[in-house]
Amino acid sequence: MRPTLLLALASTLLLAQSKPIPDRDLGLAKGSVFETPAPPRFLDEASGPGEKPLPKRINREYPPVIPHGIAEALPITRDSNLCMDCHAVAGPKKKGEATPIPKSHYVDLRRAPKAQAKTVAGTRYVCISCHVPRTDAQPLVANR
C-alpha cells in the first residue's frame, strides 16, 4: 500500500474509535454553545464629580475609568459635550479640580500629527469611545 493511503486509513480508524465531544465542553462558557446567556445586571455610577476617589488604573496604557455618573451628560453630540465644561482646563491638575484633558487629545494624528491644536481632536471628542463609566459590575477577567 502507498504511505498516504495507509495514513488516511489509520486516521479514519482513529476517528471512528473516538467519542464525540459534548457541546457543553467545547468552549470557556458554562453551558451549551446553542444557549444565549443573559449578561449580568449592573448599576451605573450615580455619584457626582469629586464625590468618590479616583479608581485605580489597571494599566497606564488603558484609558482611565470615568469615576462619576454621566447620565445627564449624554448623548455627546457635535454641538454638546458636557465633559469639556469641566475637563477642558489648562495646566496641571489641582486638588479639587477635574482632571485636565491630556495634551495628546489635542493632536490630530490623522491630519496634523506634529501640530498642537487649540481644540480637542475630532477623533478624541467623544470621550466614551475610550473612557467607560464606573459601574458595580464585577470584572469579567480576574486581575492578578
Q: What are the tens digits of pLDDT across the range 40-58?
A: 888 888 888 888 888 888 8
The Cα-based distances of 42 to 27, 45, 76, 135, 138 in angstroms read: 25, 10, 22, 7, 8
Residue 87: its pLDDT value, please?
Answer: 92
Indicate the average pLDDT of the chain.
Answer: 83
The grid cell for 13 is 480508524
Record the pTM: 0.66
- Among 122, 133, 112, which residue's Cα sits nearest to residue 45? 133
Residue 75: its pLDDT value, please?
Answer: 93
More confident residue, 31 or 121: 121
